[in-house]
Structure 1
Amino acid sequence: MASMSRAALVSGAFVELADALVGEYDVLDLLRTLVDQCVVLLDASAAGILLADSHGNLQVLASTSEESHIVDVLQREAGAGPCVDAYRSGNVVTLSDIEAEEARYPDFRVAALSQGFHSVHAIPLRFRPRTIGSLSLFRREKGVLSDEDAIIGQALADVATISLLHERAARESATVNEQLQRALNSRVFIEQAKGVIAERNSINMDEAFIRLREHARSHQEPMHTSAANVIDSRIII
């Protein structure tokens, strides 16, 4: 492959990944784009991604083939394998000859060889101290990736990692903002209800708040619900 052609393919891969991030992007689409590009660009026969859920349990999120999917599922279920170790350690794990790994990864060895894979390069999906999964590059030949392929593979993994962390942060931020808005809305109801109670009973606002809170507690309902009922004259406090 000519160097300019390789450069164009690499550039195109990053453009495609960037396109997958536009708007409310689909995480699964992003990950499938990543593994597909790994097989196109690198000396890899198949690729797969294990991603940790909120409890730290690995799940198979994307695979380029049924064979790589089977091997990744086995690693996840057994809790052992180079891709699991890449996630746990945060370091690249390379097996140049899977057949020679009977002592270290007996179950993985059997599964990988049965699917025709003889070497694997596992890259952690890591950004700074945080690791969220791993990218598996399976090969049908023995040996290791070239230095250039390893660098490109790491760059693709880094782009996916940063994108996934950004998506999670945005989702968490949206949840926090929603909770904050609910709190602000509730506060408006409560202030209005305090005014109604204070005027009706000729008491100050602090005493009105105490009465509103006592009513909410005695009826085992959120205070903003009691406040809304006061405002709508459904209850009198």
Structure 2
Amino acid sequence: MWCFIDECWPNQDKSELMVIGGLLVNSEFIPEIDKLIYRIKRKYFGEDRARDSQWELKGSRLLSNRSFAQDINEDSLNNRHALVKDVLGELIKEREDSESSHYIRVVASAVFGKKPQLLCPDLRNAPLPYKKLCLSINKAVQDHDAGRKAVQIFDQRVKVQTELAITLRNFNAGLALKHVHPTPFFGVSHATSCLQVADIVVYIIAKCFSGNKEFVPFYSLVKRLQWDGIENGAMLYGINSWEEGEDGRYRSTSPKKKKSRNSD
């Protein structure tokens, strides 16, 4: 199993919200996602663009503020929204097909605070949202195939990659989760379709949690990919929200877990 992880600050100026999220897939599905992204890029932007590895899919480009402007009627901008819906729609088909051998789920933590920084060389100040993300990944893998482990693939960050890798390795090892490999890996999004999809998904979650109503239809699609499970009779969901308190600690603001109907 592989979990492709990205992060997003939807309001770079204020930085009051950040989202870290992951796309959890089984290894057998990755080549199919590569083919899917190629087909969809070719459909909307032509063969040359589809073959250009330097041109990656990014949520901030495909769903830019300009692309939502009502007075703009450019085919290239309209195509970007349709492309995102196509990508999510195809993944939803696999998610909801009971006969499919492919596995795909979305997990994420949306964090409100003064300037939340979850993926930094010092994780001690904000462990809970990231810990919850890891716990969700662990439970998702356990429910799907208890004999597997998830490997976390982070979008590369050249400047802090070494220190961050060591910190994440130590933090993950401390959690000692049975179904999450403690060693993090870093990938180049230009060459990794799943990281591009993770970027789009996390961007949509971040913009929706920031209150942008134009993203609600896209978020509705993302929620159909959300992981959900049951633990001790309570429903668990893959997308969770957190708020930083005055003491610097993070508290959950997600809706309270509901009891499963099958818990009795």
Query: Which is higher, the Rg of structure 1 or of structure 2?
Result: 1
Q: Which has the higher contact order (CA 8 A, sep 6+)?
A: 2
TM category (shorter chain) comes to under 0.3
Query: TM-score, with normalisation over the residues of structure 2?
Result: 0.23
Structure (1/2) with the larger strand percentage: 2
Query: TM-score, with normalisation over the residues of structure 1?
Result: 0.25
